[in-house]
Amino acid sequence: MKDLLTELEKTKTQLIQAIAAISEEQFNTVPFKDSWTAGQVTEHIFKAVGVGVLYGKTQPTERAPDENVEETGKLFLNMDIKMKSPDFIYPSDGPHDKNEMLAKLEDSFNKLITAAKTLDLTLTCVDFAIPGAPPWTRLEFIWFYVFHTTRHTNQLKNIAKALAG
């Protein structure tokens, strides 16, 4: 549990630093062909961090509550794999307000940290499942948010390099 909270805090800090490294003027600039802007990546992360699912309907879990964590991490932290976003978390064209997006993400991560500290993370969420995945526990969803955000934080760092160069 302590590792999860440490990772959530670290992920939040690294994300905010990556966004802060991109100027307001460059936040809505396409850095290279077939890329999202930093604003779009940020909106996508915000849409993906669906804290509400953690407070939805749950049921007891009849397997190890962290059974899918390792595989999810391997998949989302493999930057050689190109993924396509589901429509429901696909970002808009923008423009995006950097300070507004930072505030929304900080709020979402604060809510995630509160959920990790206060909810029974062993329960399975039944209101929503990631497309192509089995129903996940609260613990698995929170780790997914860590892995997914880490993936896109790396993307934001690459965008910042491209815009600076």
Across 89-106, average pLDDT: 95
Which distant-in-sequence residues (6+ apart) come within 8 Å of 76 by Cβ?
144, 147, 148, 150, 151
- Rg (alpha carbons) of the chain, rounded to whole number: 16
Across 10-27, average pLDDT: 96
pLDDT band at 143 (very low <50, low <70, confident <90, very high): very high
Q: What is the pTM of this model?
A: 0.94
Mean pLDDT of the chain: 94
Instruction: Determine the Cα–Cα distance for residues 160 and 53; give it in Å rounded to an integer.
Output: 32
- Domain count for the chain, please give it: 1
**pLDDT tens digits along 73-96:** 999 999 999 998 889 899 999 899
Q: Which domain holds residue 8?
A: 2-164
pLDDT band at 1 (very low <50, low <70, confident <90, very high): low
CATH number at residue 147: 1.20.120.450
